[in-house]
Amino acid sequence: MCRVKEQTKEATPGNAACLIKIDKWLVTIGHRHSGKLDLPGGLRSGQESAQCTAHRETWEETGFNVEVGRFLGANENGFRIYACQLQGNFGHDFKTFPVPEWATTEVSSIQLTDPFEIQIQQWRFEEELLLIRRLFNQAD
C-alpha cells in the first residue's frame, strides 16, 4: 500500500527516494556494496508513481512506513526526491536503527546523519550531495 499525503498526490512516474528529516538530522542508509551513504530509494516497479516508488523502496530498505509528501527536486538523471514523514515519535534520541532482516543484502546500516558534516567521498553518488543538502533545507 502506497502512503502519499493527499494534498501532494501526483501521478508522475519515475525512480525516486525519500528525504526524511528529523530536526537537524537526515535518515540515511549505508549501502552494503559501496560502503557509502545514500537516501532510501530506488527504481520504479511497473507503472507505479514516483511517490509510490519512494514509499515502497523506503519500506524495503528500512522497514519505515513513511508518508510521502511533496516533490523536492530531482538529480541530473531525473531521479525524484520527496519529503517523507515518519509516523510515531521518532526523535533524535536514537542515532541508529536496526536493518530489517530482508534488507541486509543491500543495506548495511540505517542512521541519522548531519548532511552538512558528510564528506563528499562518503556519499554514494558524490555529485548528488550538494543537491541533497539544498533539498534538506527545503524539507519540512
For 32, the grid coordinates are 552494503
| Domains of the chain: residue spans and CATH | 6-138 (3.90.79.10)
- As to burial, measured by CB atoms within 10 angstroms (0-12 exposed, 13-18 middle, 19+ buried), residue 73 is middle
Q: Which residues make beta-bridge pairs with 20?
A: 84
The pLDDT of residue 7: 86
The pLDDT of residue 120: 94
pLDDT digits (tens, 9 = 90+) for 65-90: 999 999 999 999 999 999 999 876 66
The pLDDT of residue 1: 78
Distance CA 90, CA 121 (A): 28
Do residues 83 and 19 touch, judged by C-beta distance below 8 A?
yes
Alpha-carbon dihedral 24, 111, 81, 53, rounded to 10 degrees: -150
Distance CA 19, CA 38 (A): 10
pLDDT digits (tens, 9 = 90+) for 101-121: 999 999 999 999 999 999 999
Do residues 93 and 112 touch, judged by C-beta distance below 8 A?
no
**The model's pTM:** 0.93
Distance CA 135, CA 140 (A): 10
The pLDDT of residue 90: 65
